[in-house]
A and B are shown apart, each in its own frame.
Chain A
Amino acid sequence: MHFRSRSRALSVFILVLIFSVFPSAETPARGAAAEITILHVNDTHGHILPLPERNRDGSPGSALIGGAANLAAMIEKERRANPSGTLLLSGGDMFQGTPISNVFRGRPVLEIMNELKFDAMAVGNHEFDWGRAALEKLSAAAAFPFLTANIRDSRGNVPKWAKQYIILRKNSLNIAVIGLTTTDTPISIKPGNVKGLIFSRPENVLPVLIREVRRKGADMVIVLSHLGLDADRELGAAVPGIQVIVGGHSHTAVFRPVTAGSAVVVQAKCCGEYLGVLRLKVDRKTGEVLSHTREGALLTVYSRPRDPADARIAGIVRGYDDLIRGEFSRAVGETSADLARSSRQESNIGNLVADAMRNAAGAQIAFQNSGGIRTDIPRGKITMEQVFTALPFDNYIVAIDLTGRRIMQILERNARADHGLLQVSGLRVAYDMRNEPGTRLAEVSLNGVPLDPERLYRVAVNDFLAAGGDGLAEFREGKNIEYGDDLREAVVRYLRDRSPVNPKIEGRINIIRQ
Chain B
Amino acid sequence: MSDKDNIKVYVNGRPVKIYTGMQVKHALIASDESLYSQAVAGDIEIMDGDGFPIGMEGALREGSEIRTRRKK
Interface residues, chain A, with chain B CB atoms under 8 Å away: 43, 45, 54-55, 57-60, 97, 125, 182, 184, 187-188, 228-231, 249-255, 258, 269-271, 398, 400, 463-464, 466-471, 473, 476, 478-481, 483
Contacts and interface: CB of A to CB of B under 8 A. Distances in A.
B54 A253 contact: yes
A269 B55 contact: yes
A468 B29 contact: yes
Given A271-B55, A467-B30, A479-B5, A184 B43 contact: no
A43 B33 CA distance: 25
Contact of B5 (A58, A228, A481): A481
Nearest to A184: B21
B26 A467 contact: yes
A230 B52 contact: no
B42 A58 contact: yes
B12 interface: no
A401 to B, nearest CB: 9
A228 B19 contact: no
A466 B20 CA distance: 11
Given A249-B59, A252-B48, A481 B20 contact: yes
Contacts of B45: 57-58
B19 to A, nearest CB: 5
A466 B19 contact: yes
Contacts of B41: 58
A284 B58 CA distance: 36
Contacts of A125: 59
Interface in B18-54: 18-22, 24-27, 29-30, 33, 36, 39, 41-45, 48, 50, 52-54
A480 B5 CA distance: 6
A184 B6 CA distance: 12
30 contacts: A45-B57, A57-B45, A57-B53, A59-B42, A60-B42, A97-B57, A125-B59, A182-B59, A184-B61, A188-B20, A188-B21, A228-B59, A229-B48, A230-B63, A230-B64, A249-B58, A249-B59, A252-B53, A253-B52, A269-B53, A269-B54, A271-B55, A466-B22, A467-B19, A467-B30, A469-B36, A476-B6, A476-B17, A476-B18, A478-B19
B71 A58 contact: yes
A45 B33 CA distance: 25
B14 to A, nearest CB: 14
A254 B52 contact: yes
A464 B29 contact: yes
A75 B63 CA distance: 36
A258 B44 CA distance: 25
Please list the 9 inter-chain residue pairs (A to B) with the smallest Cβ-Cβ separation, ordered nearest first: A58-B42, A251-B55, A188-B21, A251-B58, A467-B26, A467-B29, A253-B53, A270-B55, A249-B59
Nearest to B63: A230
Nearest to A471: B33
Contacts of A59: 42, 71
B21 A187 contact: yes
A473 B25 CA distance: 15
Nearest to A479: B5
Given A250-B59, A253-B53, A467-B29, A184 B20 contact: yes
